[in-house]
Chain A
C-alpha cells in the first residue's frame, strides 16, 4: 500500500528513527512510572516475581533493536557487492559472508545431501537452510519481525481503541450507539476469516498485515474500556468534578484515563502475544510477514518428513517463538495479578 522511497538511505533513516522514538517513548514511560509511588511498587513486585521472563524478553528486544539500527555502506571485502549498497543492520553485518549453497547440519563441515565441503565449515552454529543461509542469522532476524508485529501494532491499536471506548462510554447516546454498532459488526466476523479477508484485500506487505491485525484486534479493548468508563462515569468523584464545572476533556484525562491505565498495560502485553500468535497462523496459511518465525516454521514443516530428518530449521524458530510467547504471557499474568485494583489495598 504505502510505498516509501525505496532508497536504502531513506529506509535506514526510517528504521533508525523508529528505534530512537521507541527508546524515547520507553524512557518517558519509565519516568512516569518511577514518579508514581503506586506504579513503582507494582512494577517492583512484577520485577521480583518474573525476573527471568523480563531478562528473556529484554534479550529479544535487544536483538530486535540491533537488527533495526541500520546504515548503508561498510566493508568492501564482502563477497556480495550488491549488499554493500543496501541498508544493513548490526545483525546483518555480523553474519556477512556466511551463505552456503544449501542445507547443512549444525556445526558441520560438509553439505547435508551431497556431502561437498562447505565454504565456511563449522561456522554455522545452527546449520543452514535450503537457501544456504545461516539458520542462527535468520532466526535472529525474526525477532525484529515479531516485535514489530506485536509491539507496533499494539501501540497503534490500543490508543485508538481507548479513544473510541472512552468517548463512547463517557458521552453515550448517539456516539455510543454508533461505536457499539461498529464494534458488534466487526466482532461478529470470525477473527481469522476477517484477518485473511483483510489481507487479501489490502495486500501482503508488512504494513497491510499490521493494519489488518489492528482492525481485528481493536474491538476487544474498545469494549473493555467502554465498559470500565461506563462504570467510572457513575463514580461520585466524577459527579463532583462536573458540579465544580470541570470540562469533559479534563475529566476524561484526569479522572477516567488514569483509572484505565492498568487495563491498558495488561491489554498491551496480552495483545502482543496474541498478535504474534496470529501472525504465525497467517504464515501457516501463506500470508504472513516475510522473515517471521511463523513463516520459517511453515516452510520447514515439510522438512520433518525428509529422511534423514532436517530438524535444525524448525527447532530454533519454534523455540524462539515459544520463548517469546511464554515470557510475555508470564509477565502479562503477573501484571494482571499485581495491577488488579482489588489487590491494591492489601499491602500490609
Chain B
C-alpha cells in the first residue's frame, strides 16, 4: 500500500506541475504582459509607461527561455515562484498577496466550514430519510422539491434571502462582518443558512441516488433476513457502503472551503478570500487571480490524494488490491 501512496502522490505532483504550466500559458502567452500592462495603465499609454509598469511588476523579462537567457525568463521565474508559493504582490494595489490571503482566510473559513458541515449532515440525513420512504408520496415530493430547489440560481437565493429575511423581516443584517465573537453569529447566520439551502437541492438528489442504489443490493436483503431493523439497515449497512461516493463528493468541496464562496462573500460583504477574488476581477488583478487559482488547485489535488487514501481505508476491496 505504501507503493500506492507514493505513486499517487507522485502523480499529484505531476498534475501540480501541469497546473503551473497551464497558468503560465494562460497568463503570459494568451494574454501577453503587454496586454496586462495596457489594461492597468490604459490602452493609449506611451510605450515607456508600459515598459515601466512591466518592470515594476516583474513582467519585463522575455517570456520563453532562449539563447542567452535560459534561466532569466518569465517561464522559469513563474515556475520557481509557484513552487515556492511566492505569489508576489497584487497587480492592482501592490499589497503582498500572502498578506491578503492571511487576512481573508479566516472570514472565509468561518463561512464555509459551518456551511459545509451543516450542509453535509442535513443532506445526508434528508436523503437517508427519503430513501427510507422510497416510492411513497413523501419521496416524490422531496424529489420534486429538490429539482425545484436546484433550478433556482444561487444569486436568486441570495437576493431573496437578503430581501425577505433582512429587509422585510429584519431578523439579521443584510451584509457586513465583524469577527468579534459576541456578534459574529449575527453576521454569519444568514449567509450560512442561504449557502446550505441553495446547495441542498442537488446534494439531496445525489445522495438519494447513491442510497437507493445501495438499498436494492442483495446484502441489504440478507441484513433484513437476519432481523435487522430498517433503521439499522440504513444507518449501518447502507451508509457504510455509500462512503466511497460520499467521500468523493466531500473532496470536491475542499477547495471551496479555502477559496471561499465568491457569490456569498460578495453578496454579504464578508471580507474573505472570495471577496478578494471578486475585487481582483474588477481590478484586473491578474497576479491575485493567478494565486487564487493555484491555491485552489493545490488544495484540490491534495484533497484528491487524501481521498484516494481514504478509499483504501473505507473499502477493503480497494485496500487489498492496491
Contacts and interface: CB of A to CB of B under 8 A. Distances in A.
Q: Are A and B close enough to touch in the complex, i.e. CB under 8 Å? A: yes
Interface of A: 181-182, 184-186, 188-190, 192-194, 196-198, 200-202, 273, 277, 280-281, 284-287, 294, 297-298, 301, 304-305, 314, 318, 321-322, 325-326, 329-330, 333
B31 interface: yes
A168 B150 CA distance: 33
B297 A189 contact: yes
Nearest to B147: A329
A318 B281 CA distance: 24
A73 to B, nearest CB: 35
B153 A277 contact: yes
Given A193-B259, A284-B155, A333-B147, 5 more contacts: A277-B153, A284-B263, A301-B155, A321-B156, A329-B151
B197 to A, nearest CB: 15
A280 B157 CA distance: 12
B15 A184 contact: yes
Contacts of A285: 262-263, 266, 278, 281
A287 B277 CA distance: 13
Contacts of B289: 193, 196-197, 200
A197 B293 contact: yes
Contacts of A298: 155
Nearest to B159: A301
Chain B interface bracket (under 10, 10 to 19, 20 to 34, 35 or more): 35 or more
B144 to A, nearest CB: 9
A190 B255 contact: yes
B300 to A, nearest CB: 5
Given A201-B27, A321-B153, A304 B147 contact: no
A281 B263 contact: yes
B22 interface: yes
Interface string B260-275: 0011001100000000
28 contacts: A184-B11, A185-B18, A185-B22, A188-B15, A188-B304, A189-B19, A189-B293, A189-B296, A193-B289, A196-B277, A197-B293, A200-B289, A201-B26, A201-B27, A201-B31, A281-B263, A285-B263, A286-B282, A287-B281, A297-B153, A297-B159, A305-B167, A318-B156, A318-B159, A322-B152, A325-B151, A325-B152, A325-B153
Q: Which secondary structure characterizes the binding site on chain A? A: helix
Interface in B240-288: 255-256, 259, 262-263, 266-267, 277-278, 281-282, 284, 286
Nearest to A284: B155
Contacts of A200: 31, 281, 284, 286, 289
A333 B147 CA distance: 9
Interface in B36-76: none
B154 A281 contact: yes
Contacts of B26: 197-198, 201
- The 7 A-B residue pairs with the shortest CB-CB distance in the complex, in nearest-first order: A185-B18, A325-B151, A190-B296, A326-B151, A201-B31, A280-B153, A188-B297
B128 interface: no
A108 to B, nearest CB: 22
A281 B300 contact: no
B293 A194 contact: yes
B159 A185 contact: no
B236 interface: no
A27 to B, nearest CB: 29
A304 B163 CA distance: 7
Interface of B: 11, 14-15, 18-19, 22, 26-27, 30-31, 147-148, 150-156, 159, 163, 167, 255-256, 259, 262-263, 266-267, 277-278, 281-282, 284, 286, 289-290, 292-293, 296-297, 300-301, 304
Nearest to B154: A281
Given A190-B256, A281-B263, A322 B151 contact: yes
Contact of A189 (B27, B163, B278, B300): B300
A41 B301 CA distance: 44
Given A200-B284, A201-B27, A273-B151, A188 B300 contact: yes
Nearest to B301: A188
* Most A Cβ at <10 Å: residue of B155, B263, B278, B304: B155
B35 to A, nearest CB: 9
A247 to B, nearest CB: 33
A198 B281 CA distance: 11
A288 to B, nearest CB: 11
Contacts of A286: 281-282
A298 B277 CA distance: 18
B147 A330 contact: yes
Contacts of B15: 181, 184-185, 188
Contacts of B22: 185-186, 189
A190 B300 contact: yes
Contacts of A193: 259, 277, 289, 292-293, 296
Contacts of B150: 325, 329
A189 B301 CA distance: 9
A181 B155 contact: no
Contact of B155 (A192, A294, A304, A333): A294
Nearest to A192: B262
Contact of B159 (A186, A277, A314): A314
B149 to A, nearest CB: 10
Nearest to B300: A188
Contacts of A326: 147-148, 151
Contacts of A182: 18
